[in-house]
Amino acid sequence: MTDSDPLTGRWDSSYHAPVMVEEVVALFKGAKQVLDCTLGGGGHSEALLASGASVVAIDRDEAAITEARERLAPHEASGRFLALRGNFGEIDRIPELAGRTFDGILADLGVSSRQIDADERGFSFRPGALLDMRMDRRSTGTAADLLNTLDEAELSQIFRDYGDEPRANRLAREVVRRRDRKPMRVSDDLVDAIRGAYGARTGPSEFARFFQAVRIAVNDELAALEKALPLLRDRLDPRGVLAVISYHSGEDRLVKHTIRGWSQSCICPPKQLHCTCRGKALGEVLTKRALAASPAETAMNSRSRSARLRAWRKAA
């Protein structure tokens, strides 16, 4: 259900407030067929439908598909909207998408507010929430499984790489010490380990950072993105646009380097004096620097503060 103010969060729903909607719609101006790889609450899809595009959307999360289909039912009935369950890292395995190409493709990474707010999904550090964090509940391996089975070095790598924590081994050691007495089960167990490792004064921003790190590992999010980027590029029509919104520095770095690589015309080794590859750029980067949400948007939607939008256009 849409419940938003037309001047502010026009595409918000009780499910999720979409980030940088105007910027996304502007990047896809004139697009007729858009693939939304991360349907979530359907805010971006709805704005793109309103701009005149037809939208095929996917999500790993069954609950997101069900709710967004309800919200966008009139568009589905008119044949302009189709929602499919699937992982964007395995897009070639979705039968309905076989052979289909698009003139715009969007990926708005991470999780939605609804997923975070639903305690039973276990993404949140609210007391008593089960440590689950699976976007696709058919998949095996919850956050608790990961925290109870990985060794200290593996945990340390997750907290360092996905949680940007230089003293990650402290937390890894603390988790292992605590789980040997009592297995990790609920959010409090991880919160207590964070406090134990870094002191009682750690608060919500540290909890959010480490919970995000565990979530990225549980859902293998960077691997899915790395696999997806070339697959999505191949699904673009000539002059089609790929836009990615990231909320984590590792994801943003991956997108930045990947689209830069696709935009190089010469791929000869850097020390070679003369070009022999006669390479041709696959396309061009549309965002020299990542776009960030406006101050007005960050004031209204704190989730948008860490958002970085990058876009790339495929060659003609």
Ligand X SMILES: C[S@@+](CC[C@H](N)C(=O)[O-])C[C@H]1O[C@@H](n2cnc3c(N)ncnc32)[C@H](O)[C@@H]1O
21's CB contacts (< 8 A; 6+ apart) are: 10, 11, 43, 44, 47
Minimal CB distance residue for ligand X: 40
Tally Cβ neighbours within 10 Å of residue 278.
Answer: 9
Reference 259, options 306, 220, 219, 315; nearest CA is: 315
Query: End-to-end CA distance of the chain, in Å?
Result: 39
User: Which of 222/236 has CB closer to ligand X?
Assistant: 222
User: Which of 172/311 has CB closer to ligand X?
Assistant: 311
207's CB contacts (< 8 A; 6+ apart) are: 125, 190, 191, 194
Least Å distance, CB 118 to ligand X, is 11
User: Which of 39/259 has CB closer to ligand X?
Assistant: 39
Least Å distance, CB 85 to ligand X, is 8
229 to 132, 162, 208, 215, 242: CA distances (angstroms)? 27, 19, 27, 20, 9
The residue ranges that bind ligand X (CB under 6 A) are 16, 18, 37-38, 40-44, 58-61, 64, 87-89, 108, 110-112, 135, 224
Least Å distance, CB 110 to ligand X, is 5
Least Å distance, CB 222 to ligand X, is 10
User: Which of 59/103 has CB closer to ligand X?
Assistant: 59
User: Which of 17/193 has CB closer to ligand X?
Assistant: 17
Least Å distance, CB 200 to ligand X, is 32
Angle between helices 187-198 and 204-218 (to 10 degrees): 120
Please give the order of strands across the beta sheet that includes 102-108: 81-85, 54-59, 33-36, 102-108, 236-246, 308-314, 283-285
User: Which of 37/218 has CB closer to ligand X?
Assistant: 37
User: Which of 224/309 has CB closer to ligand X?
Assistant: 224
Least Å distance, CB 212 to ligand X, is 12
Question: The tokens of 26 are what?
Answer: 């502007």
User: Which of 89/283 has CB closer to ligand X?
Assistant: 89
Least Å distance, CB 173 to ligand X, is 30
Least Å distance, CB 109 to ligand X, is 6
